[in-house]
Structure 1
């Protein structure tokens, strides 16, 4: 049973406050960018160019990559609750809205489980972690390859010493192997956890993880790889749109290394995510092109398209979550 005051808070306070806070924070983040006036002038000129279709394509790809994530989450929780693709899509966007103000976007779990039936939400959160783990493994694997190809350019540019590059390289390799071991041995991991006295009372939460076999885990990974390459393609298209002429391979290794660093470094999407991404992209993409304004605008563009717009949509969905919760708690 949910206390009445908590129900009122969720229904009438959480959604509006989240929307206002999100809008205010986004405005401040954009206003804090250096060279804002020059950037707007550059954007106006780019919009009037024939290459505007690149921007449109980047925007449309956003719906596809969040669609892949929605389908992945739909598959993930199928064992405890069957939901439609549209509901899964709404849940994912709501999760994006919550994740914007939490470290490394861990708040997405809370946003998603609002669409899960009462009594199944904690299990759904544990299953969602597996989804996130598949994306993290993909990011680490691709970043590992990217770092291999970037090791010489990074060393020559003096960004990192050879010793540091090797240490990071093999450190990532070791962590990746551990993650893969746990990922493909989830049932074994659950059994170990259940033998620990401190976790035995929570065994019902972890039991849901035992439903995953190698086939479904590989399916999660394939969907994660699909999302990953859509991210890379979006960066490539926007870089071309903003006049940063560089090859797809160079974009792939640079952005791949950036994603790897962002996965390791604790960030909050609304406060540090954009600034840190921009600094990393300027260093890595700057190895191949000196159009710093174009690189910064690309970073900002991808951030707005992939995070800000979905988060705003998600906050609007949360504004209407009271209708969902009313159906769930009408007996309270």
Structure 2
């Protein structure tokens, strides 16, 4: 049916899809700013003005950290995808930011997989999907490792009421899940993002230690940048926490927020709820925490997705000669 359509009709629908993605992304950003259930926009704006966040020095530094964050994400993607195809930095930028825009309102940014794969011809798309999965697993791995360390310090530092019955029940569920996953590894039918665990393991193993190590290091650099950015914003909001104390909470926050399934546009709400609880035990009020979470989302998701809309509008399907 697709092949029977006239070329002009195909082009019209293609342009319509790209416009829909961009308009949808802008609408969600607008909705999150002006219809935020957890933080009123006028209150947020007054708070930013009162803390003089919009000074030239602060603004340039914060945007610079966001640019640096995405620079390393783009560099990581360019390096990881080199196993399938050599990309220029501009091509890697278009794929990274364009896929961000396209996946902004999809659950757990799952739309990123299809958005990146569509930049390549069909013979390469499965490999690109696997590389993107490995890239996200690397970032998740860094988040889990550092977050687990942070959580241990958080547990020792603050008094947390733990229901040991629910905890033991959760551990039993976890053990059962690990057992099922272990069985699933031996079964090719068990899949993640459409790929069997055996295939993912073999593909990852064949990439080599050097390749994986560099990918993990780039993921670590990204983590250090955006976690420091979080701390820097807190310091601008006059939150009375030393760097070490703040990082204990921040790493715990990213750990807990990363394991909760969500649509990216609701990431602010989820992170905000978790952050309020975590920082409340350090006697920090909700307003600066919610403002920090929202500002982090604007700097690292909304702003790059606006830039990415340019690449979405200028996207063309790959040609055979490429």
TM-score of Structure 1 vs Structure 2, range by shorter chain: 0.7 to 0.9
Let me know the Cα RMSD of the aligned residues. Answer: 3.5
SS of the equivalent of 1:47 reads: coil
Identify the residue that residue 185 of structure 1 maps to in structure 2: none
What residue in structure 2 maps to residue 301 of structure 1? 295
Q: Indicate the residue corresponding to 1:241 in structure 2.
A: 236
CA contact (8 A) 2:121 2:320 kept: no
The offset of 1:290, in angstroms, is 2.2
Out of 130, 144, 158, the residue aligned to residue 126 of structure 1 is 130
More helix by share: 1
**Which is further off, 141-150 or 252-261?**
252-261
Range that drifts further, 287-296 or 94-103:
287-296
Which position in structure 1 is the counterpart of 2:313?
319
Aligned to 1:22: 25
Displacement after TM superposition at 1:65 (Å): 1.4
Residues 169/208 of structure 1: CA separation in 2 closer, same or farther (3 Å cut): closer
- Separation in structure 2 between the aligned mates of residue 247 and residue 169 of structure 1, nearest angstrom: 33
1:86 CA displacement: 1.9
Residue 209 of structure 2: aligned partner: 214
CA contact (8 A) 2:25 2:102 kept: no
| Conserved? CA contact 1:71–1:88, under 8 Å | yes
1:288 corresponds to which residue? 282
**Post-superposition offset of 1:266:** 0.7
- Find the partner of 2:42 among 37, 43, 55: 37
135-144 or 103-112, which deviates more:
103-112
Partner Cα distance (1:42, 1:164) in 2: 39
- Secondary structure (helix, strand or coil) at the match of 1:82 reads coil
- Residue 123 of structure 1 contacts residue 208 of structure 1 at CA under 8 Å; is this kept in 2? no
Count, aligned residues: 308
TM-score normalised per structure 1: 0.80
Q: Distance in 1 between matches of 2:76 and 2:65?
A: 17
Equivalent position of 2:89 in the other structure: 85
For residues 69 and 170 of structure 2, what CA distance do their matches in structure 1 show? 29
User: Structure 2, unaligned stretches of length 5 or more?
Assistant: none
C-alpha distance 80-281 of structure 1, shift in aligned 2 (>3 A):
same
- 1:46 matched to 2:46: no
Query: Hey, what does 1:276 align to over in structure 2?
Result: 270
Q: CA deviation at 1:97?
A: 1.1
Choose 107-116 or 141-150, whichever is displaced more.
107-116
Q: Matched residues in 2 for 1:229 and 1:221: separation?
A: 12
Does residue 115 of structure 1 match 2:119? yes
3-state SS of the aligned residue for 2:239?
coil
* Counterpart position of 1:229: 224
